[in-house]
Amino acid sequence: MKTAHDLVVAAKSRVQEIPVQDAEQAIREADVLVDVREADEYAAGHLPGAVHISRGLLEFKFSGAPALQARDLKVVLYCKTSGRAALCAGALHDMGYLNVQSIAGGFDAWAAAGKPVAKPEAPSFD
């Protein structure tokens, strides 16, 4: 029986992971940057310009949104440490997407490298 770790290792063997030092260039060249973490993780801080599509809804959102249906769309994915993003990249490849990358090390590696993080501001009631 395969474990979650086995599935991530298999996914990483067939998807393109980009090192965090190359991520900014890949993001500039991408059509869409997708954060596949859960909503609370995204709300706590995310890469600037990222849209949130949690892993559980990814295939449905890509299938249902006309702006995401072109199979030559350039997609960059990330999660917390890169496991979920690799699984998502594999799923998108299975759906026929041709230009999918995930960020090695995910959000944690991005933040540790001192890269910018967008955080929503709490409303002011002054």
Q: Is the pLDDT of residue 122 over 70?
A: no
Instruction: Kindly state the average pLDDT of the residues 18-27.
Output: 97
Query: How many other CB atoms are there within 10 angstroms of residue 12's CB atom?
Result: 19
Instruction: Kindly state the average pLDDT of the residues 91-113.
Output: 97
- Residue 57: predicted pLDDT: 96
Q: Among residues 107, 123, 109, 110, which one has the least CA distance to residue 44?
A: 107
Q: Among residues 95, 97, 80, which one has the least CA distance to residue 16?
A: 97
46 DSSP β-pair partners? 118
Q: Is the pTM of this model over 0.75?
A: yes
Domain boundaries, the chain: 4-112
Q: Which class in CATH covers the domain with range 4-112?
A: alpha beta
Orientation angle between helical segments 4-14 and 83-94, nearest 10 degrees: 60
Q: Is the pLDDT of residue 126 over 80?
A: no
- Residue 120: predicted pLDDT: 76
